């Protein structure tokens, strides 16, 4: 069956450290993978998109990798800050190319 | 610039009552439109998506229906709400099949 999993439901790290979140998928062949941030009571906000032919993408303190062999994406936040505390969702294109499939999310808490 | 509106922000409804949630998008034409539901502490579940006026695809069988009467208007409805319909409902739009932009959401509590 098709699945998208994110490594843990919750992750606590110390301010200034690098947070690494994992997204694994099974029985999908996505053309791209995306990461979103969601704050409590709000809609998700797009952060980064990486295509299947890209190994790595960066945006300021964010870095995403995409390994289609391992069927895995890693999302890194360097020099993390308490303001980075939120739930992070990965998403990929669904089977019909017109919809999106989201992972369950990882709740990141950056402790001061 | 593009904006997406959802209303109401919060809704408390009794079991068996009807539902109508509205979503409108400004600043773009012929967007793909989506309705998601997010139960407390859970991931996003795609309910419906639409690639054009009157074109609705349903992802899961349920007590809800969707309509797209205008290009930038997407409505989520139910004739009789169930307790299990409680959740956080999110509307989103995209151009093509890449980035999605989400609305502020409607928190629905069915009692």
pLDDT at site B62: 77
Q: Say yes or no for a CB contact (<8 Å) between B90 and A41.
A: no
Taking the C-alpha atoms of residue A22 and residue A4, their distance in angstroms, rounded to an integer, is 10
A81 to chain B nearest CA, in Å?
23
Assigned CATH for B3-110: 2.60.40.10
Residue ranges of alpha helices (H) inside chain A are none
Of B40, B12, B36, which is closest to residue B23 (Cα–Cα)? B36
Q: Which among A66, A75, A10, A80 has a CA at the least distance from the CA of A36?
A: A75
Q: What is the pLDDT of residues B2-30, one digit of tens each?
A: 899 999 999 999 999 999 999 999 998 89
Quick: pLDDT tens for A75-106.
999 999 999 999 999 999 876 555 778 999 99
- A40 Cβ contact partners less than 8 Å away, ≥ 6 residues apart: none
* pLDDT, position A18: 97
pLDDT of residue A96: 57
Contact A100 B100 (CB under 8 A): yes
Instruction: Select from A10, A98, A103, A107 the residue whose CB has the most chain B CBs within 10 Å, as the one to mutate to test that interface.
Output: A98
CB contact under 8 A, A99 and B34: yes
Mean pLDDT within B28-46: 87
Closest CA of chain B from A6, distance in Å: 11
Q: Which domains does chain A have, with CATH numbers?
A: 3-111 (2.60.40.10)
Q: Tell me: the pLDDT tens digits for A9-22? A: 899 999 999 999 99
**B62 interface with A at CB cutoff 8 Å:** no
The answer to whether the Cβ–Cβ distance between A101 and B51 falls below 8 Å is: no
A5 to chain B, closest Cα gap in Å: 11
CA–CA separation, A6 vs A103, rounded Å?
6
Average pLDDT, chain B: 91
Tell me the torsion sign for CA atoms A48, A51, A54, A55.
Answer: positive
- For residue A90, list its beta bridge partners: A35
- Bond from prior residue into B8 cis (ω within 30 degrees of 0): yes
Domain ranges of chain B: 3-110
């Amino acid at each position: 069956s098709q699945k998208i999993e994110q490594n843990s439901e919750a992750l606590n790290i110390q301010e200034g450290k690098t947070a690494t979140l994992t997204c694994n998928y099974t029985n999908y062949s996505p053309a791209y993978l995306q990461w979103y941030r969601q704050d409590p009571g709000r809609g998700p906000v797009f952060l980064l998109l990486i295509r299947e032919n890209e190994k790595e993408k960066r945006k300021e303190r964010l870095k995403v990798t995409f390994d289609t062999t391992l069927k895995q994406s890693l999302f890194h936040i360097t020099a993390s800050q308490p303001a980075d505390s939120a739930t992070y969702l990965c998403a990929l294109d669904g089977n019909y190319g017109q919809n999106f499939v989201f992972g369950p999310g990882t709740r990141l808490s950056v402790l001061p | 610039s593009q904006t997406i509106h959802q209303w109401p922000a919060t809704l408390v409804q009794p079991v068996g009552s009807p539902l109508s949630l509205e979503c409108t998008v400004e600043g773009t034409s012929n967007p793909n439109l989506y309705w998601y539901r997010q139960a407390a502490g859970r991931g996003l579940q795609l309910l419906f998506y639409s690639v054009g006026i009157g074109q609705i695809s349903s992802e899961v069988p349920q007590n809800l229906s969707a309509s797209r009467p205008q290009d930038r208007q997407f409505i989520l409805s139910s004739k009789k709400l169930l307790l299990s319909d409680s959740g956080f409902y999110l509307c989103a739009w995209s151009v093509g099949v890449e980035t999605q932009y989400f609305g502020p959401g409607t928190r629905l509590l069915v009692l």
